[in-house]
Amino acid sequence: QVHLVQSGAEEKKPGASVKVSCKASGYTFTSYGISWVRQAPGQGLEWMGWISTYNGNTNYAQNLRGRVTTTTDTSTSTAYMELRSLRSDDTAVYYCATFSYGSRSLDYWGQGTLVTVSS
Amino acid sequence: SYVLTQPPSVSVAPGQTARITCGGNNIGSKSVHWYQQRPGQAPVLVVYDDRDRPSGIPERFSGSNSVNTATLTISRVEAGDEADYYCQVWDSSSDQPIFGGGTKLTVL
């Protein structure tokens, strides 16, 4: 059974950085990519980026390029998302999800990590 | 960039059929995926590739896609189906997924 377990809630000041982890289990880690999606309070889903778990290729949303980095550690089946220069409008729940290379769907999701940015 | 349009809300009585639409230019040429997000929970994939269901998703959930509109159909709606539903396609020109704005399904 596929499980994605994310790190706990974070509170950050504007200008700081946050790094969220996503530990995968129940499948071969390199069988799926990992996508990151965020959801601001009361808003819809916003795709942030994805990373290929077999060659490390990445792609990021245009509005986040330069501030976001996604990485993976295949030895521990863990993905990471770092967001820098945090602003108040980065306050959101951040989700990791497995990304199917075939159908391009997000098949399994983590439980979400609340990141609050406030002075 | 590619835009997907969903109605903000749909209401249906228990036992009836709910239809949630997702409009996009020539969306019929793309594969559409649907996600259910219950309040306070992470999204769950309920339909992929227009009409296929992941294991564990009831047969009451079905999908179709033609020309400029994809549709998620939920038959015999139950109280537990009350949630936000999002459609998603892959935009090959930008190499990224595109989400619709979401539809809140209310079970009366």
Residues of chain A contacting residue B45, judged by C-beta atoms under 8 Å apart: 105-108
Mean pLDDT of chain A: 96
Contact B6, B69 (CB under 8 A): no
Contact flag A95-B45 (C-beta cutoff 8 Å) = no
Report the sign of the C-alpha dihedral through residues A114, A115, A117, B1, in that order.
negative
> What mean pLDDT is predicted for residues A33-45?
97
How far is the CA of A64 from the CAs of A78, A90, B107, in angstroms?
A: 22, 10, 37
Considering chain A, what percentage of its residues have pLDDT values greater than 70? 100
What's the confidence (pLDDT) of residue B95? 87
B9's tokens: 């809300």
CA distance A93 to A38: 6
Residues of chain B contacting residue A3, judged by C-beta atoms under 8 Å apart: none
CA distance B72 to B20: 5
Most B CBs within 10 Å, among A64, A105, A106, A109, to test the B interface? A105
Residues of chain A contacting residue B86, judged by C-beta atoms under 8 Å apart: 44-45
Between strands A10-12 and A113-117, the pairing is parallel
pLDDT tens, N- to C-terminus, chain B (108 residues):
899 999 999 999 999 999 999 999 999 999 999 999 999 999 999 999 999 999 999 999 999 999 999 999 999 999 999 999 999 999 988 889 999 999 999 999
Q: Which residue of B has its CA nearest to A6?
A: B42
Closest CA to B85 of B36, B13, B50, B29: B36
Complete DSSP assignment for A18-68: EEEEEEEESS-GGGSEEEEEEE-TT---EEEEEE-TTT--EEE-GGGTTTE
The amino acid that residue A66 corresponds to is G
Q: What residues of A are in the B interface, CB distance below 8 Å?
A: 35, 37, 44-47, 50, 59, 61-62, 95, 97, 100, 103-112
Query: What are the backbone angles phi and psi of residue A31, rounded to the nearest 5°?
Result: -75, -25
Contact flag A106-B33 (C-beta cutoff 8 Å) = yes
| A70, β-bridge pairs | A81
pLDDT at A31 over 90: yes
pLDDT tens digit string along A59-116? 999 999 999 999 999 999 999 999 999 999 999 999 999 989 989 999 999 999 999 9
